[in-house]
Structure 1
């Protein structure tokens, strides 16, 4: 029976990869429309890697794995819920606040002291935001912090 765990998970991840890949095609066309690398390039590459990795899990499952029904299983469910909430709150709360909450919660669930976990989340959110906005010139949503936006 344990052979089917990887296969079930692999099929679910293939479905996710297809949905994610389809979602990348829904991005608006960049101004000019002639760029070889657009906003969908990196997410599309992630979808392809996810699909190939998942296909490997379906074709060659691990012979000895069982679903973690213990504390590990609960932690995995918490992580999935945190990531879903992160995606839902990214636009209204903004990148920095959402990232602080998500990274902080995940660090805390992995055993960090709550204060250090959320400080790590805040630093990660600010650093990645600054990298994307200024080094890569890619805008991330500010959400509740939109008053910080420079005109």
Structure 2
């Protein structure tokens, strides 16, 4: 069954390369090159994902099996949610898309819908504030662009 891990590792490696390439397409920040720009975090994620996927390819678990039961369905739902999250990040903005994605994932893990989406909304606002004010990195506001301060 080591074949399953290798397939998954190859898929994750393709995702890591695509993610790193996508980060390289970010426009250069105003004011020239910075030590830490908007592409830094995605580059780090792509590197970690790439190294992890290489580990799966080289050293697969000898007795794993694909979870074709309810767990497999939940994993597929989580992947679909994350794809939609990435697609809706620009049009809806970070806070709204994060609230929807985190809320949906929490709900799928068994939380009550109200608590799940409250957690998503709080997570979106807190992370947005951390990135915007503590790290001085901008995230898309999308639907909430009226909150942007000039």
The two structures have a TM-score, normalised by structure 2, of 0.94
User: Are residue 35 (structure 1) and residue 37 (structure 2) matched?
Assistant: no
Q: Which runs of 5+ in 1 are unaligned?
A: none
The two structures have a TM-score, normalised by structure 1, of 0.93
Deviation at 1:36, TM superposition (A): 3.2
Deviation at 1:110, TM superposition (A): 0.2
Name the SS of the counterpart of 1:37 in structure 2.
Answer: coil
Report matched runs for 1:1-151 at 5 Å: 2-151=1-150
Matches of 2:124 and 2:45, distance apart in 1:
21
Matches of 1:35 and 1:92, distance apart in 2:
26
Matches of 2:69 and 2:47, distance apart in 1:
32
Q: Which runs of 5+ in 2 are unaligned?
A: none
RMSD: 1.2
* Residues 24-75 of structure 1: CA deviation (Å, up to 9, x unaligned): 2111122343433332222112211111111111111001111000000000
Task: State how many pairs are aligned.
Answer: 150
* Residues 88-121 of structure 1: CA deviation (Å, up to 9, x unaligned): 1111111111111100000000000110000000
